[in-house]
Amino acid sequence: MKHPQCALFFLSTICLLFTACGTASTSPSVILKVFAASSLKAPFTEIQSKYEAAHAGVSISFDFDGSQILENQLASGAAADVFASADQLHMQKASGTGLVGTSQIFARNKLIVIVPASNPAKIYTLKDLANKGAKIDVADPSVPAGHYGLQVLDNLGKSADYGPAYENSVKANFVSQETNVEAVVQKVQLGEADAGIVYQTDVTPAIANKVVAIAIPANFNVIAEYPIAVTKHAAHANEAQAFVRYILSSGGQAILAKYHFITVNK
């Protein structure tokens, strides 16, 4: 009479073992942690999809934020395998404290001004940014986009066409300074600001009909350089190196170009 019970127990055990094995086989064996500047969210999300499809057993987990915040988190002991910054300054800080290995430039970017599609403040040119009462949102100077934006205004202020009075008027119109450039984009598209200084890559297909871009001439603009590096304490150093190689490959560069980044082979 005990034999049927034994058989049932045996079968139940086998089923549990197969279920456990099946779960293990479908779970990624490596979860790659990538710290990336917020301006990289759109292309890196697409890169994630394609990379994971081509690399069985590897899953990518992103933290997107201002480069200064990510570098500070690394310095505070946060675990990450890869750091992709929107400027050289914060990568150099990470390198100087032994947090990352050798970095490589993988993309470049430049700034534009965006206004809401409804354009209530009637900002059509760079000179209109100095109009009294215009509400301008920018990234904080500690954020790469904010630092670059101040450089652009400094370049404009030194020119005969704009001058120091223009620069001071624009700065007087700053109503907020954000901890990442994505927040600037959000406030402008929602109409909470009349204009914002962001990257050209921030005008993604998702918001293209919500904002209007105003170009900044090349002689006043700043080219942002994006470096990437494997962290010194990466839990998955080999996989991290492979991910960096993909970012620098023709496949990775093509996706970055799709989102209007300036690729390293240009």
Q: Are 233 and 79 in contact (CB under 8 A)?
A: yes
3-state SS string over the chain?
CHHHHHHHHHHHHHHHHHHHHHHHHHCCCEEEEEEEEHHHHHHHHHHHHHHHHHCCCEEEEEEEECHHHHHHHHHCCCCCCEEECCCHHHHHHHHHCCCECCCEEEEEEEEEEEEECCCCCCCCCHHHHHCCCCCEEEECCCCHHHHHHHHHHHHHHCCCCCHHHHHHHHHHCEEEEECCHHHHHHHHHCCCCCEEEEEHHHCCCCCCCCEEEEECCCCCCCEEEEEEEEECCCCCHHHHHHHHHHHHCHHHHHHHHHCCCEECCC
pLDDT for position 28: 63
In the chain, what are the domains?
11-16+24-108+225-263 (3.40.190.10), 110-223 (3.40.190.10)
pLDDT for position 14: 44
Q: Residue 153: exposed, middle, or buried by beta-carbon count in 10 A (0-12, 13-18, 19+)?
A: buried
Q: Are 222 and 139 in contact (CB under 8 A)?
A: no
Block mean pLDDT (10 aa), the chain, length 266: 49 44 56 96 96 94 95 96 96 97 97 97 98 97 95 98 98 96 95 97 92 97 97 96 97 96 85
Provide the residue type at 257 as one letter.
A
pLDDT for position 84: 98
CA distance to 28, 45, 84, per residue, from 61 (Å): 11, 10, 13
Provide the residue type at 220 as one letter.
F
Residue 223 to residue 262: CA distance in whole angstroms: 9
Bridge partners (DSSP) listed for residue 138: 177
Phi/psi for 63 (5° steps) reads -120, 110
pLDDT for position 135: 98
Q: Are 62 and 109 in contact (CB under 8 A)?
A: no
pLDDT for position 205: 87
pLDDT for position 107: 98
pLDDT for position 15: 43
pLDDT for position 227: 98
